[in-house]
Structure 1
Amino acid sequence: MRATGIGSFPGEHQRDFDTALAVVLDELAADERGLPFLPEVPGRGAPAGMTGRTLGVVSELDADLQPSGWRLTGSSGAPPLDQRRARSQLGQDLDSLEEQASTHAGAFKVQLVGPWTLAATVERPRGDKLLADHGARRDLAQALALGVADHVADLRRRLPAATEIIVQLDEPGLPAVLSGSVPTASGFSRHRTVHPPEASEALAWVLGAIAGAGATPWVHCCAPDVPVGLLRGAGARGVAVDLTALAAADLDVLAETLEAGDSVVLGVVPGTDPEAVPGDGEVTDTVLRWLDLLGLDPERVGDRLLVAPSCGTAGASAAWARGSLRLLRTAARNAT
């Protein structure tokens, strides 16, 4: 069993990102039980958030910031200022990564927003979400596929010794997209349901681009009703879920995921400061009981099972953001 994080960290300044990266590398990179990752510090502003960082990767579409959030501009000229800032911020973060971890010889994970959460978040040039426009959401997914391939190539250049690059697509909005519960701009209605074949096709474009670039595609969703079967069918070789949000029906498909040789990341500690901090033995026992319920041997599962916070830790204190990684790493070591 290994330990990792979902992505986000608290902080408001560039120095907070540098500190977060140092924490991740210190807690996870130097231990075979750890999977280090590129942290996000969304408190630095919208260009540094999960949507801004992802739009910084997408070079085929231009976007700017409006009071309601990110919006495609529909222009074909130079990228808008806000998107340029997002790209510059990501470039700074990757420069810091290269400086601190260029000799890292293990696996390394990065995170981007998946096509459906992006479509449910970003607006069209004339208003309302991209989700409302079949053609626009198709263009977005294809542009994201091109962007992630270039992103993986850049990461390979910066981390030449890494044995594996993992790209995690964050899709917290996917269950709402599938159930037709994403509100329209007015708030008085809901966007139409996206049916599973279309959802799978768009995910497959992006996940396939990640795999085609030589990286391992994962998908994270901390919402209830995670469509694990759909994610795996679209090409995800790892799924990250919140253990407390799982339904009984999820158990079999997660067991199948592990038995097929793919990875499962279980969110087993809160993403914000808990009232009572659990002990590492308690966390280990929770995971072992879950494996026992599935009828799986911990030794057989091995490194394909990971533990993490239930979601990102941007809303946590700096102490818990670090302490949760240390706790998870110790719990993972206990299980081996």
Structure 2
Amino acid sequence: MSDQTWPWPAGAATGIGSLPGTDVAEAQRIVLGELPALPHLPELPARGPGADLIGRTAGFLVDLPVELYTGRWRVAARPGKDLRRANDLMERDLDQLTEQADGFTGPVKVQAAGPLTMAAGVDKAIGGRLLRDPGAVRDLTDSLAEGLRGHVADVRRRLPGATVLLQLDEPSLPAVLAGHIPTESGFGAYRPVETATARDLLRAVVDAVGAPVLVHCCAPDVPLELFRTAGATGVAFDLDLITQLDPLGEAIEAGLGMLVGAIPATPPATGRGPSGETAADRVRQLWDRLGFPRPRLAQQVVVTPACGLAGATPEYARAALTAAREAGQRLYEV
């Protein structure tokens, strides 16, 4: 284990993805300035449909067009204006990344929803979530895997000196596994997806994209072992939601990279700003409690905000990224 390496420099910090506002050029400048060791492609959901998690990811689907209908994304007969908008927004984002990160030679992270969250968030054309049809879920996964492989390749062409990491956002996965996704009537729920099935679906995407894959899940009961056995390089989680230390210790021992959400995603009630020192202390204390050697901490752990920052003020969001960077540096220095 001592010889293992992770695809980021020691003491790195990064963002989960979303930021407030609608100015992608400014968002990209902030990310590159505050997170130089592991910048990410910022997401700005305030821009509206097509910039949201589901719509943004739907733009990657191959031969599976979607559209907005009564405020929800559903499978469509052909590509239309909703999908064009999502693709236009993504193209603008990638153009900004290409321009502002020109010559960048480190790791860079891009994000998309994972197959289980997409299956829970997209409706069939005839109604009901794709989740209710195992065959449709498999088709969705294959389409997503092909599209994300092309997306990763596109980013590599734009930034030939960079190492591209892909983050799959799976906020709905625990509910999918538990059978807690409500049906369209609201009176029932879709049957749970077996852990082995979910693992195989994630593995299909991981194997297809040809890049290190991180899985983000800022929900309680993060299925760490599922993500590890699906082939993920790392997992991103909210430190405040971790209650079971044994699975976390086992995942660390197995070599899973840890993107630890140690910076609050919104200002605390006290009104105090985020603190890199406090975040580093929290991560260090947990690491020591688990009994792992200190030198490995800064290598295996990346500090992040607890979740996306779209709900924060612009001032707080920037301060949170600064605090994450400072926390990563503190872990490296000790």
Query: TM-score when scaled to structure 2?
Result: 0.93
Secondary structure, counterpart of 1:109 in structure 2:
strand
Q: Give distance in 2, aligned partners of 1:252 and 1:329.
A: 28
Q: Does 1:136 align with 2:136?
A: yes
In structure 2, the partner of 1:53 is 56
Q: Map Cα deviations across residues 272-321 of structure 1 (whole Å, 9 max, x no partner).
A: 22232243221111111010011112312332201111110000000111
In structure 1, the partner of 2:265 is 271
Q: Give distance in 2, aligned partners of 1:279 and 1:194.
A: 39
In structure 2, the partner of 1:72 is 75
Q: Give distance in 2, aligned partners of 1:113 and 1:324.
A: 23
Q: Give distance in 1, aligned partners of 2:261 and 2:188.
A: 32
Q: Map Cα deviations across residues 252-282 of structure 1 (whole Å, 9 max, x no partner).
A: 3333333333310111111122232243221
Query: Out of 236, 257, 262, which is 1:240 matched to?
Result: 236
| More deviation, 255-264/125-134 | 255-264
Q: Map Cα deviations across residues 197-237 of structure 1 (whole Å, 9 max, x no partner).
A: 11111111111112xx2x11110000001111011111111
Q: Give distance in 1, aligned partners of 2:256 and 2:216.
A: 14
Q: Unaligned regions of 5+ residues in structure 2, if any? A: 1-10
Secondary structure, counterpart of 2:171 in structure 1:
coil
State the one-letter code of the partner of 2:69.
Answer: Q
Q: Give distance in 1, aligned partners of 2:262 and 2:222.
A: 16
In structure 2, the partner of 1:169 is 168
Secondary structure, counterpart of 1:145 in structure 2:
helix
State the one-letter code of the partner of 1:227.
Answer: P
Q: Give distance in 2, aligned partners of 1:99 and 1:123.
A: 36
- Aligned pairs for 1:1-336 within 5 A: 1-11=11-21, 13=22, 16-29=23-36, 34-73=37-76, 75=77, 77=78, 79-162=79-162, 164-210=163-209, 213=210, 215-248=211-244, 251-274=245-268, 275-336=271-332
Q: Give distance in 1, aligned partners of 2:222 and 2:251.
A: 14
Secondary structure, counterpart of 2:265 in structure 1:
coil
Q: Give distance in 1, aligned partners of 2:50 and 2:108.
A: 23
Q: Give distance in 2, aligned partners of 1:298 and 1:90.
A: 40
Q: Map Cα deviations across residues 140-163 of structure 1 (whole Å, 9 max, x no partner).
A: 01110111110111010011111x
Contact 2:263–2:323 under 8 Å retained in 1:
no
Q: Map Cα deviations across residues 34-72 of structure 1 (whole Å, 9 max, x no partner).
A: 310000000001111111111111122010011131110
CA RMSD of aligned residues (A): 1.2
| More deviation, 258-267/2-11 | 258-267
Secondary structure, counterpart of 1:151 in structure 2:
helix
Secondary structure, counterpart of 2:184 in structure 1:
coil
In structure 1, the partner of 2:7 is none
Q: Unaligned regions of 5+ residues in structure 1, if any? A: none
Q: Give distance in 2, aligned partners of 1:241 and 1:90.
A: 25
Contact 1:181–1:191 under 8 Å retained in 2:
yes
Secondary structure, counterpart of 1:330 in structure 2:
helix
Give the deviation of 1:90 after TM superposition.
Answer: 0.5
Q: Give distance in 1, aligned partners of 2:276 and 2:229.
A: 34
Identity %: 46
Q: Map Cα deviations across residues 78-103 of structure 1 (whole Å, 9 max, x no partner).
A: x1211111111101110111011021
Q: Map Cα deviations across residues 115-169 of structure 1 (whole Å, 9 max, x no partner).
A: 001111111001111111111111101110111110111010011111x211000
Secondary structure, counterpart of 1:328 in structure 2:
helix
Q: Give distance in 2, aligned partners of 1:129 and 1:98.
A: 36
Summarize the Cα distance change of 1:302–1:334 in structure 2 as closer, same or farther, 3 Å threshold.
Answer: closer
Query: TM-score when scaled to structure 1?
Result: 0.92
Q: Give distance in 1, aligned partners of 2:14 and 2:235.
A: 13
> How many residues end up aligned between the 2 structures?
320
